[in-house]
Chains A and B, each alone.
Chain A
Amino acid sequence: MSQVQARFFTENKKYLIDDVPFSIPAASEVADLSGVINKLLEAKNDGHKHVEFDFLVRGQFLRTSLASHMEKENISTEEVVEIEYVEKFTAPQPEECIMHDDWISSVEADSEWILTGSYDKTARIWSMEGKAVMTVAGHTDVVKDVAWVKRNGLSSLLLTASLDQTIMLWEWNSERNKVEARHCCRGHAGSVDTVAVDPTRTKFCSGSWDKMLKIWSAVPTVEEDEIEEPNRPRKKQKTEQMGLTRTPLMTFSGHNEAVSSVLWVDAEELCSASWDHTIRLWDAETGEQKSTLTGSKVFNSISYSPLCRRLASGSTDRHVRLWDPRSKDGSLVLLSLTSHNGWVTAVRWSPSHEHQLVSGSLDNVVKLWDTRSCKAPLYDLAAHEDKILCVDWTENGLILSGGADNKLYTYRYSTCVSDAGA
């Protein structure tokens, strides 16, 4: 078998070629095919510039020669092979390296600002250029997770969860550059490891080492929630600077071990991952447990993509696993992405691309994955010198990762317009 009949197609109007089958050598690889397409495009329109393409055969990226790929995927070589080509994803370009004083436990960026939580008990706000804007200090212990709530013109609301068993709701005015603690959410009996704000931006959920999930209101008020504490006068003084005490709206119990990660699937549905080897889905209104996905290892992190409706989980082994949260019996792994050498501590789906996700691991490498090529990641981002504890991916194409080497790396990742449209 030396020649294969192939028909090339693409979704991208810019790179359309004639819909005729070609006979191409079976041993040709991605670069050869890319050359073929470029030749065809040059012949078609003169002003064509050389573009690197990537090829998909039946939804799987071509990584080896065409012949071996087809043999592995069990594709008949007798028929005409349909090969889709997309513009090759360019490698993420490193942008900034933001130094912290201590380990970075969490990161969340929106379109303008980067919020990081650190082991030096503070959260920090950075501009996209890596300039330190604000230090949010108030916790008495390590900040484990941070989250933006919403932006109202110049004032923003943000959340920090800490090992000191509290979550604090801060209001930050970017013009005056002042941060004010609005509420201190008390109620957990263990370190609060994760917070997630719901899509309506009025509530948030927290997961803690004490095995509980709690839902709190994210709307700042001027009144303090009623709490029954015998030694209240002593606390009063403390709460002046810590913000008004807030109590949870709801508490979900059901996990047998610490909750490590929580997220909102939509406005009514919550998803939490735990050290008890389960991912549980909850009804946020009633607090009922809807279904359970059971794994075999401790879950460190989960992420949900509304584009492909898949959950990605990172656990205390080397694999990133994809789950379907709607499956009822729920212990079926759709796909395992295996390339890391240590625990996967953080996973995050691309907000704009349904096939792409990043994962950070204890082996100091951030990997950028495409689910269509599950054997090998698209790119390894090996900038960190120590454990990676958090990753994030913003809507404007910025990948962020922070870890135990006190550095926050940002990468610019330009997803192709064509692909984003597809």
Chain B
Amino acid sequence: VSDSNFSLLVFITFSVRSQDIRNTVGNIPMEWYKDYPHIGYDLEGKKIFKPIRNKDELDEFLDKMENPDYWRTVQDKMTGADIRLSDEQVDLVHRLQQGKFGDVNFNEYEPAIDFFSNEVMIHPVTNRPQDKRSFIPSLIEKEKVGKLVHAIKMGWIKPRRPKETTPQYYDLWAKEDPNSILGRHKMHVPAPKMKLPGHEESYNPPPEYLLSEEERLAWEQQDPEYRKLSFLPQKFACLRAVPAYSRFIHERFERCLDLYLCPRQRKMRVNVNPEDLIPKLPKPKDLQPFPTTQSLVYRGHSSLVRSISVSPSGQWLVSGSDDCTVRFWEVSTARCLKTVEVGGAVKGVAWNPNPSICLVAVSYDDTVVLLNPGLGDRLVCTATDQLISSYEEPEEVMDQSVQWAVAEGEGHEQGHRLILKHPKTVRQVTWHGKGDYLACVMPDNGSSLQVVIHQVSKRRTQNPFRKNKGLVQCVSFHPIRPYFFVATQRYVRVYNLIKQELTKKLMANCKWISSMAIHPGGDNVICGSYDCRLAWFDLDLSTKPYKVLRHHKKALRSVAYHRHYPLFASGSDDGSVIVCHGMVYNDLLQNPLIVPVKVLKGHTITHDLGVLDVTFHPTQPWVFSSGADGTVRLFT
């Protein structure tokens, strides 16, 4: 650029010199001299007068037309004279107009010399030593980095984009609609095909396809739905003679209906094996030991044996029968060692569970007798007798509903020790675990005196209930805690004996409870009922049965728990005893496991009665059952 200016200056000086007129006003706007006759001053200070411009427009035009150099004539503003541009000057103007350098000889594309190359030469471009600032960290940069670090720490920015670890594949079927055509094609059901026409449809069928007269009549008689052929095969002499088919529209319509109504998708049926729906129970084989076979039969009673009980040591068995006797048996040999006659059909017997007392409570009619059978340890027997004889009458005699009497004479010889006369018939007797309290049941719908609790050591009787809540079926003491279970027809009520209040009321969901047993742990109860059900209650779980078993065909008469083994048994009128595995876990989260393991049969059904009582051996996995056939049986 500087070169071009230079050349212009040269040109101008050249042009001025040729005229030799030099205006000295300087570089001012020339219109300032517009109204003056002169245009400026020359070197001598004389006015330079404006050239006489007398040419009018017409002259101008003629000049333009005639003067061939008109186009290269320009007015010099400084002097006002017309200057004719030379050829060189015109050429220069042309070059400048084209954006080229004014100097023709100037080569603008000379090869570049790379002074600042990467090559280190012995004489560098600059030999300045490096700045000090290149050695010290930049404060600005430090501030910027600090801001970034802070932002990273605060989580405002992420230093780098989190990598997507899961490989991404193109899922070919992701967008597929199950209802789309593709989906349907997988389950495609072809449209039903029409049956191809056979010989009988022919216009000229073989004669065997033509119906005879009777067949035709039969065809006409038949209901159109049941016709084998929907038309009558006909024979025509030639195809020309075949008339229009009258059923054509009808058949087309039916075909359309077929296509329209035919299923377009296969129905998926869930195939469930019915056995998979049965809950998985362990095999009875793995739950041994439990009684499996009948081992001993205790024969001797002549009438139905209503009640049995085993001594706490497991050596003796007592049975009470309708033949007015109580028999004592040796368990291991089925030997009847003792027979005690009482004055009525025996309804209940119960051996005192305390091993240091040898007493058996026997109930018949309205009497409960405490017997000392004299079996087992002699010392225990004599101690029991002493305990009873050492009783002293209290000073104040209480008015009791039950009369206590000491047996004397022949009764004493037989083992009778105490006789308790009740106002009503006693149906059941049961001992408390400690062996001092004895509860008796006298079912009566109208009275509040249905259950009495006797204390043997003090010879006292209490009636724990003031109100009649229904016909009491059986009662039982809790094995550990001071609770008392009372089963009426439909409910089992649990009373707290210390607080004297109702704790729980169990809904048995059955019509008539017949029997009840408490698990030795005390948290589970089973109830047998006359409508063939056995209900297991988990007292911690609910007041409704945890499980109801309907294995018996007839009414249940008795249920029992084993004291140690996880077993319970039920005896029924159908003559069978069903033994079930009933495992109760210490863990409160685990529900009891109930598995029926064995049906024990042996008793013959007499007067529609089968098994009347069941009880377990205290130490062995053996179950005793007494039946209406007058026998007691031991299953081991």
Contacts and interface: CB of A to CB of B under 8 A. Distances in A.
A312 interface: no
B25 to A, nearest CB: 141
A103 B335 contact: yes
A296 interface: yes
B333 interface: yes
Interface string B161-182: 0000000000000000000000
Given A191-B315, A387-B334, A165 B295 contact: no
Contacts of A258: 315
B222 interface: no
B377 interface: yes
Contacts of A317: 636
B287 to A, nearest CB: 14
A191 B376 CA distance: 7
Given A209-B315, A210-B377, A316-B295, A389 B333 contact: yes
Interface in B622-636: 636
- Chain A interface residue count: which class? 20 to 34
A362 B379 CA distance: 32
Main secondary structure on A side of the interface with B: loop
A105 B333 CA distance: 10
Contact of B296 (A119, A275, A298, A362): A362
B631 to A, nearest CB: 15
Contacts of A342: 295
Interface in B597-620: 619-620
A259 to B, nearest CB: 12
Contacts of A180: none
B335 A119 contact: yes
Nearest to A318: B293
Interface in A285-319: 296-298, 300, 316-317
B337 interface: yes
Nearest to B380: A189
Nearest to A102: B335
A164 interface: yes
B313 interface: yes
Interface in B296-311: 296
Nearest to B374: A141
Interface in A249-307: 257-258, 275, 296-298, 300
A190 interface: yes
Contacts of B334: 387, 404
A142 interface: yes
A189 B315 contact: no
Given A190-B377, A275-B620, A298-B620, A404 B335 contact: yes
B312 interface: no
A387 B295 CA distance: 11
A190 B289 contact: no
A343 interface: yes
A323 to B, nearest CB: 20
B378 interface: yes
Nearest to A193: B332
Contacts of B333: 103, 105, 387, 389, 404
Interface of B: 288-289, 295-296, 313, 315, 332-335, 337, 376-379, 619-620, 636
Given A190-B376, A404-B333, 18 more contacts: A103-B335, A105-B333, A119-B335, A165-B378, A189-B379, A190-B313, A209-B313, A258-B315, A297-B636, A298-B620, A300-B332, A342-B295, A343-B295, A343-B296, A343-B636, A362-B295, A362-B296, A389-B333
26 contacts: A103-B333, A105-B333, A119-B335, A142-B337, A164-B378, A165-B378, A189-B377, A190-B376, A209-B313, A209-B315, A210-B377, A257-B619, A275-B619, A275-B620, A296-B288, A297-B636, A298-B620, A300-B332, A316-B295, A316-B620, A316-B636, A342-B295, A343-B295, A362-B296, A387-B334, A404-B334
**Cβ-closest 4 pairs across A and B:** A189-B377, A316-B636, A343-B295, A209-B315
